[in-house]
Amino acid sequence: MDISLVVPLYNEAESLPELEKWIARVMEENSFSYEILFINDGSTDDSWDVIKRLSAENPAVKGVCFRRNYGKSPALNTGFARAKGDVVITMDADLQDSPDEIPELYRMIMTDGFDLVSGWKKKRYDPLSKTIPTKLFNAVARKVSGIHNLHDFNCGLKAYRNKVVKHIEVYGDMHRYIPYLAKNAGFTRIGEKVVHHQARKYGKTKFGLDRFVNGYLDLATLWFTNKFGAKPMHLFGLLGSLMFVFGFIATAVVGVMKLYHMYSGQSYTLVTDSPYFYLSLVLMIIGVQLFLAGFIGELVVRNSPRRNHYEIEEELNL
């Protein structure tokens, strides 16, 4: 099979028939063998009934229906697990992504050799309240991930080589960082294509401004787990040791200063009357706690069944 289209959706019953006809026309014009995987993320409208009707009319249409709304990442992960095409393409169901982009995305994967191609909605039909935070979000994501050639990490229109989606796990709200997940899994040939963005035709957006706050938190989590997930002692142990040493030195200085004043006949106060003494103790206590956190983290990692799991591209004569 040439192409698997994974389309997560929530309450998009109005747009589904038009989207399916548009995709089918593009596929037939380019002689692609294909499947459309509609992942119904607990819709409360007639989306699932529409999907069942479309499947009866077109055998290429397949569907999965969640019992409740889990989010876009679980929907994508479910679709990825079931995708059979050589190229897997994701798009939103609200008709803001154009299926006419599919042939070029397919060519970039199969001919140009990219592992992943992300769409870039260079000209957007969104309000400033959405576009300005999006630009800031993407700038931070480029800096942290090291993928400097992508302008729109969260674009729903993406194309993947099949083995990419089989080697990454999309969970929580990590759909925003699939290129970063792919890079961490060893798929570094990541490209970008300017795609046409259309104004929403039906319904309203399902995402609020809270996604930007959650997005930064998820990015910090992803960066930390990638850098220190397999070696937590390298971070917590280092910070804990430094804080303990500084606290110990500060405590010693407070004690030495009191002894100096005592034996030189100068006036002095009790060590416990000095605020620096308590600050030093706090540094030492926090340092010990951080060190123990790193140690416990190492024990957890050591007992993980994936502690020696490495992605192997190919083997020879073994």
pLDDT value of position 278: 87
Show the tokens assigned to 317: 């004569």
Distances (CA, A) of 300 to 33, 169, 187, 290, 310: 46, 20, 27, 15, 18
The residues pairing with 88 across neighbouring beta strands, listed in sequence order, are 4, 160
The residues pairing with 64 across neighbouring beta strands, listed in sequence order, are 39
pLDDT value of position 110: 97
pLDDT value of position 117: 97
CATH number of 3-228: 3.90.550.10
Show the tokens assigned to 10: 């929530």
Q: How far apart are the first and last CA of the chain?
A: 31
Task: Spell out the per-residue pLDDT of the chain, length 318, in tens.
Answer: 999 999 999 999 999 999 999 999 999 999 999 999 999 999 999 999 999 999 999 999 999 999 999 999 999 999 999 999 999 999 999 998 999 999 999 999 999 999 999 999 887 666 666 667 778 888 888 988 899 999 988 899 999 999 999 999 898 888 889 999 999 889 999 999 999 877 666 666 655 556 656 777 777 777 777 777 678 888 888 899 999 999 999 888 888 887 887 788 777 677 777 788 889 999 999 999 999 998 888 888 777 666 655 555 566 666
CB atoms within 10 A of CB 259: 11
Q: Could you tell me the residue ranges of all domains in the chain?
A: 3-228, 233-302
- The pairing of strands 158-161 and 116-120 is antiparallel
- The pairing of strands 158-161 and 87-90 is antiparallel
The number of angstroms, rounded, from the C-alpha of 95 to the middle of its chain's C-alpha atoms is: 23
Distances (CA, A) of 10 to 45, 50, 72, 77, 81: 9, 12, 9, 15, 19
The number of angstroms, rounded, from the C-alpha of 295 to the middle of its chain's C-alpha atoms is: 27
Residues 121 and 195: beta-carbon distance below 8 Å? yes
pLDDT value of position 261: 77
pLDDT value of position 207: 56
User: What global pTM score does this model have?
Assistant: 0.76
